[in-house]
């Protein structure tokens, strides 16, 4: 440790390096790995017949190992006469034709175009200690000397940690001087310095290859952050992003290896295939206090399509999964849509190295892989669509428990949330081929079930509509999605007519073509802005027995993701009050992670409506809020009595309609968890 400089400014001083090499004696100092760790890059970019200049050779064995493996024309230079003297003494007999010269790399005495390769292992990092004007001037002189002494088509190969200011200077200098620039991550090198301190951080090491040309019509920039595939990028910013992403990921892995995150937030990391811009896997790391009987570390692979389930998609669910798995650390791996996956074994093999990098330090046991079954699950994309309002979306079919097939609508802006889901069932008509159709009795979202209870509660009494309207109760649903809620209400509650308002016309096409929504005299869809529609109803004195808001926010950065905050402004709530009249019901699906925003929303509701009651779903962030001005809802007892009756009635309807063979609502739990 005493051989490290006290200040980074010492790195570019001759006196520092003289002292350094005197202290070390004959023991080699290998920054960023030895020959065996760099052999892939060396043999890819250096030929045996190349005339090689090794700048800042120090007492590294790299040039010796290269010489012994067949690279015979090597000239070594270093600013330190002590280092050069030692290297001559070490190599004078065995490698007599390898040259060692004391020389300043920023002012070399070689003739122009003397070399076909200039090799730099750590010298640039030692020179460019900061981004000051004087340092930039020195490094500029160094680069100019490299280009002067390189032949046309020659390569400057630099091994570096690529601090931000170094990378920026490389990107400024070489492209404008007609050099193609490649940046390659050297995984083998990162693992192995001879002098590596086991408690120090292992930072990503990169090879920069600048190839000199007489002229280039445009800048050529390429990166390879994994595997062998070189990827051409369009701008210096793309190179910076690729490098900094690798560095940030390495910092996370180093931190996880040396400590735990008990009591802290989870750590999440996306994994990409080399050259691709969309993630292939996402890994979430979670720790719990060590238990002697627990295993140390395991990976859990979530089958395709099941990543949206509470157990895998929420911090609370993942914490429960960790407890049940009985490991102190768990890496929870989810797979992404629009990707092809093989068998579970092939996925394990593909993940192996990444999973190892997230293991606690010193773990030597084999890492067990856990999952829910023996395969990776099935996901088939039916439609890749785009909406000008909601962005890219997918309609896909996934296999769930017991081989059930679910059709889903997913917005890629919030890819882990299912916008709409339907269960497919197989129909076998007599003397005809079996076919699949949507099960209208299936409700994917639990909050939809309790919203339907609210509709049943609001429509069991006398009608507010005129006598010539066939005594149907009018229900307004703002937010269509795939139409699952509207279709269920229509199928279950025969005395109800549903008007659905959807701002996005593409969603109506999706609902009709892929989720079998059918419009008739009891279900009608209006393409309109929901708020504008409510205000017009208020102006024209059009009333509804129940109004449901089930609208997601397009801005997922907000603390309240359902509904958009504008839907709970005092003015719109006053309009709703008029629309539902003195006996109607306003039913809201509220998803709010920000407690202050939630409190503001509740306060706004309580200022407008006489009575409000809420039900928080146990395993979701959804909260169903029932609001009314009906005087019969005076206290929690009244709410519980009427909601219990409505729940039992809905259960009876569901069983009679053969939607299910048991109660849909657990009345006791529902009623006990209601709050005013």
Query: 489-515, pLDDT tens digit by residue?
Result: 999 999 999 999 999 999 999 999 999
The mean pLDDT of 663-672, rounded to a whole number, is 83
Closest among 83, 178, 85 to 126, alpha carbons compared:
83
This model's pTM is above 0.75: no
Closest among 451, 441, 431 to 660, alpha carbons compared:
441
Query: What is the reported pLDDT for 68?
Result: 92
Q: What is the pLDDT of residues 54-78, one digit of tens each?
A: 998 888 888 899 999 999 999 999 9
Indicate whether 227 pLDDT > 70.
Answer: no
Cα separation, 223 vs 220, in Å, equals 10
Indicate whether 12 pLDDT > 60.
Answer: no
Indicate whether 95 pLDDT > 60.
Answer: yes
The mean pLDDT of 285-303, rounded to a whole number, is 92
Query: What is the reported pLDDT for 33?
Result: 63
The mean pLDDT of 130-156, rounded to a whole number, is 95
Q: What is the pLDDT of residues 405-431, one digit of tens each?
A: 899 898 888 777 788 888 898 888 777
Q: How many helices (H) and strands (E) does the chain have?
A: 20, 27
Q: What is the pLDDT of residues 567-619, one digit of tens each?
A: 989 999 999 999 999 999 999 998 887 788 888 889 999 999 998 999 888 76
Indicate whether 136 pLDDT > 90.
Answer: yes
Query: What is the reported pLDDT for 429?
Result: 75
Cα separation, 219 vs 373, in Å, equals 50
Q: Are strands 473-478 and 546-549 parallel, antiparallel or unpaired?
A: parallel
Share of the chain above pLDDT 90, in %: 41
Cα separation, 76 vs 535, in Å, equals 81
Share of the chain above pLDDT 70, in %: 90
Query: What is the reported pLDDT for 660?
Result: 80
Cα separation, 498 vs 511, in Å, equals 15
The mean pLDDT of 391-401, rounded to a whole number, is 86
The mean pLDDT of 357-386, rounded to a whole number, is 86
Mean per-residue pLDDT of the chain: 85
Cα separation, 16 vs 59, in Å, equals 14
Q: Residue with structure tokens 């509709």?
A: 455
Could you tell me if 515 and 487 are in contact, meaning their C-beta atoms sit under 8 angstroms apart?
yes
Query: What is the reported pLDDT for 197?
Result: 47
Q: What is the pLDDT of residues 163-208, one digit of tens each?
A: 999 999 999 999 999 999 999 988 777 665 434 444 444 678 899 9
Domains of the chain: 8-244 (3.40.50.150), 259-371 (3.40.50), 379-438 (no CATH), 446-672 (3.40.50.150)
Query: What is the reported pLDDT for 363?
Result: 83
Secondary structure string (H, E, C) spanning 417-479: CEEEEEEEEEECCCCCCCEEEECCCCCCCHHHHHHHHHHHHHHCCCCCCCHHHCCCEEEEEEC
Cα separation, 321 vs 428, in Å, equals 39
The mean pLDDT of 282-305, rounded to a whole number, is 92
Indicate whether 11 pLDDT > 50.
Answer: no
């Amino acid at each position: 440790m005493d051989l490290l400089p006290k200040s980074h400014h010492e790195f570019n001083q001759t006196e520092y390096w003289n002292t350094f090499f005197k202290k070390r004696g004959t023991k080699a100092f290998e920054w960023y790995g030895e020959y065996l760790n760099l052999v892939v890059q060396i043999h890819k970019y250096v030929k045996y017949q190349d005339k090689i200049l090794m700048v800042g050779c120090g007492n590294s064995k790299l040039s010796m190992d290269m010489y012994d493996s067949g690279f015979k024309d090597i000239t070594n230079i270093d600013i330190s006469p002590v280092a050069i003297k030692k290297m001559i003494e070490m190599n004078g007999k065995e490698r007599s034709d390898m040259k060692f010269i004391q020389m300043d790399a920023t002012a070399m005495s070689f003739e122009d175009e003397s070399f076909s390769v200039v090799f730099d292992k750590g010298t640039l990092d030692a020179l460019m200690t900061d981004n000051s004007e004087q340092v930039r001037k020195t490094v500029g002189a160094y680069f100019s000397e490299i280009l002067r002494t390189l032949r046309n088509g020659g390569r400057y190969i630099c091994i570096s940690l690529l601090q931000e200011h170094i990378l920026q200077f490389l990107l400024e200098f070489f492209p404008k001087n007609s050099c193609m620039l490649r940046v390659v991550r050297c995984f083998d090198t990162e693992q192995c310095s001879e002098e590596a301190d086991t408690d120090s951080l292992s930072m990503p090491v990169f090879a920069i290859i600048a190839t000199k040309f007489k002229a280039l019509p445009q800048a050529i920039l390429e990166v390879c952050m994994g595997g062998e595939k070189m990827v051409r990028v369009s701008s210096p910013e793309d190179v910076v992003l690729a490098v900094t992403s690798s560095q940030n990921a390495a910092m996370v892995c180093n931190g996880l290896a040396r400590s735990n995150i008990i009591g802290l937030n989870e750590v999440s990391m996306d994994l990409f295939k080399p050259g691709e811009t969309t993630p292939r896997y996402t890994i979430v790391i979670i720790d719990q206090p060590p238990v002697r009987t627990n295993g140390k570390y395991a990976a859990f692979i979530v089958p395709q399509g099941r990543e949206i389930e509470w157990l895998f998609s929420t911090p609370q669910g993942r914490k429960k999964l960790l407890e049940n798995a009985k490991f102190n650390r768990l890496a929870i791996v989810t797979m992404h849509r629009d990707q092809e996956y093989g068998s579970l074994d092939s996925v394990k093999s593909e993940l192996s190295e990444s999973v190892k990098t997230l293991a606690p330090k010193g773990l030597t046991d084999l890492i067990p892989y856990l999952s829910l079954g023996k395969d990776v699950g099935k996901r088939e994309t039916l439609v890749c669509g785009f909406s000008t309002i909601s962005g890219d979306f997918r309609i896909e079919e996934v296999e769930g428990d017991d081989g059930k097939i679910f059709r889903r609508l997913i917005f890629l802006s919030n890819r882990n949330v299912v916008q709409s889901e339907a269960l497919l069932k197989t129909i076998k008509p007599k003397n005809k081929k079996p076919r699949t159709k949507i099960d209208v009795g299936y409700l994917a979202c639990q909050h939809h079930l309790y919203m339907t209870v609210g509709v049943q509660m609001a429509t069991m009494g006398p009608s507010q509509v005129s006598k010539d309207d066939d005594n149907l109760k009018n229900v307004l649903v703002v937010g269509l999605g795939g139409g699952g809620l509207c279709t269920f209400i229509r199928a279950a509650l025969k005395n109800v007519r549903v008007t659905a308002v959807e701002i996005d016309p593409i969603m109506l096409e999706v609902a009709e073509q892929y989720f079998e929504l059918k419009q008739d005299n009891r279900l009608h869809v209006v393409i309109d802005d929901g708020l504008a529609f409510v205000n017009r109803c208020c102006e024209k004195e059009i009333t509804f027995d129940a109004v449901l808001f089930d609208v997601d926010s397009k801005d997922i950065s907000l603390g309240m993701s359902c509904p958009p905050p504008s839907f709970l402004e005092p003015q719109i709530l006053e309009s709703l009050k008029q629309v539902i009249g003195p006996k109607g019901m306003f039913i809201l699906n509220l998803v709010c992670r920000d407690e202050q925003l939630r409190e503001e929303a509740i306060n706004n509701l309580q200022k407008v409506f006489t009575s409000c009651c809420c039900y928080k779903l146990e395993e979701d962030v959804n909260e169903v809020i029932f609001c009314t001005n009906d005087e019969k809802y005076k206290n929690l007892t009244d709410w519980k009595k009427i909601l219990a009756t409505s729940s039992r009635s809905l259960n009876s309807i569901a069983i009679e309609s053969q939607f299910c063979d048991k109660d849909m609502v657990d009345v006791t739990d529902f009623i006990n968890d209601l709050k005013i």
